[in-house]
Structure 1
Amino acid sequence: MELLKNWLPIRLWQQAGDWRVDWCWFGERKLVQPFFCDAVDEALRLPFNQAFRRETPLAALSEWRTPAVAPSAFIYHASRCGSTLLSQMLVQLDDHIVISEPPALDSLLRAALDADERRAALRGLLAAYGQRRRGGERALVIKLDAWNIGELPLLRECFPDTPWLFVYRDPLEIAVSHWRRAGMHMVPGMIGASCLDTPGQDDSREDYIAARLGRLFQLAQEHCRAFGGLPVNYHELPLALEAHLGECFGLDARQRRQALAVTGQHAKQPDQAFVPDSEDKHREASERLKERVGFWADAPYQALERLRQASAPR
């Protein structure tokens, strides 16, 4: 696997019943884009990657030997809730590797694989992402896809001591965002079968969005209780990074100041200024959407809020 140093896994797929890994050469380029897919798109335009490609069997991941940074934190989230802001704050730190929603990790977590094979591949995948490609990296933060909250126990089997948090916000505000422009998990059939599938969600589009949000919040509060996750509400960001979140990520005072320097920018569109939109979303929500979000998501949201408040620093 030394031959693939500075290459990162970008895709997993099945071919004739066997799982394969697609790799892309990144060299020493730091990943600064809001999402891993953005970094992949940019890297694939390099002349080298247009001329040379690599693919390996899945087993190659378990043979990874390059020294790597172990995962230092996992970020789970409810989508459209500030998790990208948080990851973009951490990207500012030179010694941090931040991998945001890598498709290969989602595929591996949700694939029908033997338990031992999956664990070996997961460890290898994150070792590949944790390569010290620039030399000074000491932390690896992985932001997962929103629906991966259902697969959290699988990742905990491999990394039981890695801190993790769940970022969320008022479910109506999330619902309005998906009503405007639906994320992948809010489009029927887009991500296939998942932990978010819920009886009754197909009654209407409002039900579909609200029911899946409710399921997300339910799984999050159950896993936070069972596995010691830290609930983080959107309204705590970004200043929480100066306090308990900074401790969670192991940041010193200089790093906290450095991370906070980008908070005036839009996390997903860094060339634009951030404008708060919570009030606009509440005004925009239809009465039907408000009612269905209340029915499906309010109780698990309030349960998560109680858990957050009970665990808040005093």
Structure 2
Amino acid sequence: MERLNLEGWLPIRVWQQAGEWQVDWCWFGDTPLHQPFFREAVDDALRLPFNQAFRRQTPLAVLGDWQVMSPGLAPSAFIFHASRCGSTLISQMLAQLDDHIVISEPPPLDALLRSDLPAVERRAALAGLLSAYGQRRVGSEQRLVIKLDAWNIAELPLLRECFPDTPWLFVYRDPLEIAVSHQRRPGMHMVPGMIGASGLDDDQLFDSREDFIARRLGRLLDLGLAQCREFGGLAVNYSELPGAMAGRLAGFFGLDDGQREQVFAAVGRHAKQPTEVFVGDSDGKRREASALLIERVERWARSPYKALEELLVAAGLAH
């Protein structure tokens, strides 16, 4: 097998061309990924003159070849979430650590998880993709943490086919607060048709934007609950953050005493906009909610939220 020269390169897109899956790569060198989302790191990298002058595209099978020639770190944890509930805060806290690679919502991972690839090819591609993200580009990296898109909770079983022993958590929040956030600025999965077919779809008609958001949110929480029960995920309520990163989440991520202190360098900043100071908004969101939104959230999302809370009670972690 010819030696591949992909040191410093990361996959930024997987896509089909004439029925064949391709991978677009971008050169990052040894630049750490400290941005809140992978797509932001890609945007920054694509501004480099080198990446404007040179592009690299390969067949999907190269991911598996590269994994054989230069295996990267295996994922040490997966972060699933119900959206707008603190998962970005967790990933940004971990990104403070030099020995952690944190990849937040990479589009190629979502594309493969929701692809129609045959099972064997999909498993090989997923393993190769995460191996590529787990490359030691600086030299000090010891752990790889992947935060997925909110809707990928439906694909968790597929990911576990490749990584059955990787621990994972599901972060959630009072559904009314999440719903108000999406009314203000809807995420992709809260706009009908924007992300295509997903595990959040159902066969029911919706009569309003409030109804659609509440139903999708209820489906998210239902899936998170079911996966936690079946596959032993760790349920984490937004209200536990950031303090849990010095307690049970520090144990979950395997942080030592020094790292427990270091991760709190991100606290006080807005997780999605690190240049801004974070201000809690739970009370304001509840006051802002319309009567219709409250009614629909109670109908579609309150029950799975309460069931997730019962998991914490059963574990002696009620808050």
Using the size of structure 2 for normalisation, the TM-score is 0.97
Aligned pairs (5 A) from 1:239-254: 239-254=243-258
SS in 1 for 2:314: helix
Residue in structure 2 matched with residue 262 of structure 1 by the alignment: 266
Residue in structure 2 matched with residue 46 of structure 1 by the alignment: 48
Residue in structure 2 matched with residue 24 of structure 1 by the alignment: 26
> Aligned pair count?
314
Residue in structure 1 matched with residue 238 of structure 2 by the alignment: 234
Task: Indicate conservation of the 8 Å contact 1:149/1:216, yes or no.
Answer: yes
Residue in structure 2 matched with residue 293 of structure 1 by the alignment: 297
Unaligned runs of 5+ in 1: none
Which of 209, 216, 227 is equivalent to 2:213?
Answer: 209
Which of 287, 308, 311 is equivalent to 1:307?
Answer: 311
Q: Which amino acid aligns with 1:301?
A: Y
Query: How far apart, in 2, do the equivalents of 1:278 and 1:305 lie?
Result: 17
Residue in structure 2 matched with residue 280 of structure 1 by the alignment: 284
Aligned pairs (5 A) from 1:215-230: 215-230=219-234
Instruction: Check 1:122–1:312 CA distance in 2 against 1; reply closer, same or farther (3 A cut).
Output: farther
State the 1:312 CA deviation: 4.1
Q: Which amino acid aligns with 1:14?
A: Q
Query: How far apart, in 1, do the equivalents of 2:317 and 2:247 lie?
Result: 9
Instruction: Check 1:130–1:201 CA distance in 2 against 1; reply closer, same or farther (3 A cut).
Output: farther
Residue in structure 1 matched with residue 61 of structure 2 by the alignment: 59
State the 1:184 CA deviation: 0.2
Residue in structure 1 matched with residue 98 of structure 2 by the alignment: 94
Which of 83, 98, 105 is equivalent to 2:109?
Answer: 105
Query: How far apart, in 2, do the equivalents of 1:47 and 1:114 lie?
Result: 38
SS in 1 for 2:301: helix
Unaligned runs of 5+ in 2: none
Give me the CA root mean square deviation.
Answer: 1.1
Residue in structure 1 matched with residue 162 of structure 2 by the alignment: 158
Task: Indicate conservation of the 8 Å contact 1:201/1:211, yes or no.
Answer: no
Task: Indicate conservation of the 8 Å contact 1:168/1:233, yes or no.
Answer: yes
Query: How far apart, in 2, do the equivalents of 1:15 and 1:202 lie?
Result: 35
Q: What whole-Å deviation, never above 9, does each CA across 1:250-293 have from its counterpart, x for those lacking one?
A: 00010010001221100011111100000000000000000000
Instruction: Check 1:91–1:30 CA distance in 2 against 1; reply closer, same or farther (3 A cut).
Output: same
State the 1:200 CA deviation: 2.8
Q: What whole-Å deviation, never above 9, does each CA across 1:128-151 have from its counterpart, x for those lacking one?
A: 000000001000000000000000
Task: Indicate conservation of the 8 Å contact 1:230/1:308, yes or no.
Answer: no
State the 1:313 CA deviation: 5.5
State the 1:29 CA deviation: 0.2
SS in 2 for 1:63: helix
SS in 2 for 1:20: strand
Q: Which amino acid aligns with 1:18?
A: E
Residue in structure 1 matched with residue 121 of structure 2 by the alignment: 117
Which of 149, 152, 157 is equivalent to 1:148?
Answer: 152
Aligned pairs (5 A) from 1:124-203: 124-203=128-207
Task: Indicate conservation of the 8 Å contact 1:93/1:255, yes or no.
Answer: yes
Q: Which amino acid aligns with 1:187?
A: V
Which of 55, 72, 76 is equivalent to 2:76?
Answer: 72
Query: How far apart, in 2, do the equivalents of 1:142 and 1:201 lie?
Result: 34
Q: Which amino acid aligns with 2:304?
A: P
Query: How far apart, in 2, do the equivalents of 1:99 and 1:230 lie?
Result: 19
State the 1:6 CA deviation: 1.1
Q: Which amino acid aligns with 2:52?
A: Q
